[in-house]
Structure 1
Amino acid sequence: MNRNPVIPFILIMVFGIVLVFVMSFKGLGDMKEVASEKGEGKGSEKTEVAASKPEDIYKQTCVACHGDQYQGVVGPTLKGVGSKYSKEQLEEIVTKGRGNMPAGLVSPDKAGAMADWLKTIK
């Protein structure tokens, strides 16, 4: 008996298409959650999920580049940064960014507390 080599190929393609289709529903659900966190979608009220303490801000926005021990990974080390920069300079860096660091990671109203906290890292 000769088997048609196209049939297994078609079955694999159908399985792949179904898998992509099912996975896309999971992705759409995630996008709805992100939109609701940003305040998009129903209503005009925004749901703020921002951290309030400098340590929490660091864990959410900074740890990937500066490391869990402030050792620096992609970004520079933060150890001793308080003696290298003034509070005002640190506030400007965390709000406006510098080099490869993007702006807007820390809101201006939390920049002072973040700068004070950065000055304590030894």
Structure 2
Amino acid sequence: MKIKMGMISVLALSALIFAGCGQSNDDNKTEEHSSKGEEIFKNNSCVGCHGKDLEGASGPSLKKVGSKMSEADIEKTINEGKGNMPSKVVDEKEAKEVAKWLAEQK
């Protein structure tokens, strides 16, 4: 009986250790984003068309988009869509955050 209890304790301790490891990985994912706008961009369908590094894919590259468009114009495009880009990919509050972040990409 003592051996079984010892094994259960070891297994329980192992489970706690592994659970802690998983927890810190989730925290690291959140810290990778420098802004709320970047986090929204990378966690929505934006990445599918514009690439995780803004390099473009089926949609245009957004590298240096802040040099070409104002924050207001970027926000308008996110809200209204343009070309093959549908409107309202994110809600208006999120669009404002993404536009702010993209406008800083110069």
Note the alpha carbon deviations across 1:16-48, whole angstroms, 9 max, x for none.
Answer: xxxxxxxxxxxxxxxxxxxxxxxxxxxxxxxxx
The residue identity in structure 1 corresponding to 2:105 is: I
Structure-2 separation of matches of 1:96 and 1:74 = 19
- The TM-score with structure 2 as length reference comes to 0.60
Q: Name the residue aligned to 2:88.
A: 104
Select between 75-84 and 110-119 the one with higher mean Cα deviation: 110-119
Structure 2 gaps of 5+ residues are 1-35
From 44, 50, 56, the counterpart of 2:39 = 56
Paired with 1:119 and 1:87, the residues of 2 have a C-alpha distance of: 5
Moved over 4 A (4+): none
1:90 is aligned to 2:102: no
Determine which structure has greater relative contact order: mean sequence separation of CA pairs < 8 Å that are 6+ residues apart, divided by chain length.
2
**Hey, what does 2:14 align to over in structure 1?**
none
Identity of counterpart residues, as a percentage?
44
For the residue of structure 2 that corresponds to 1:65, the secondary structure is: helix
Unaligned runs of 5+ in 1: 1-52
Relative to total residues, which structure has the larger helix share, 1 or 2? 2
Q: Deviations over 1:83-112 (max 9, x none)?
A: 111111111011111100011112112222
SS of match in other structure, 1:102:
coil
Distance 1:116 1:69 in 2: 16
- TM-align CA RMSD: 1.7
TM-score (norm: length of structure 1): 0.53
Q: Which amino acid aligns with 1:84?
A: K
- Once the two structures are TM-superposed, the CA of residue 82 in structure 1 deviates from its matched residue by 0.6
Quote the offset at 1:121 in angstroms.
Answer: 2.1
2:101 aligns to what?
117
Matched residue pairs, number?
71
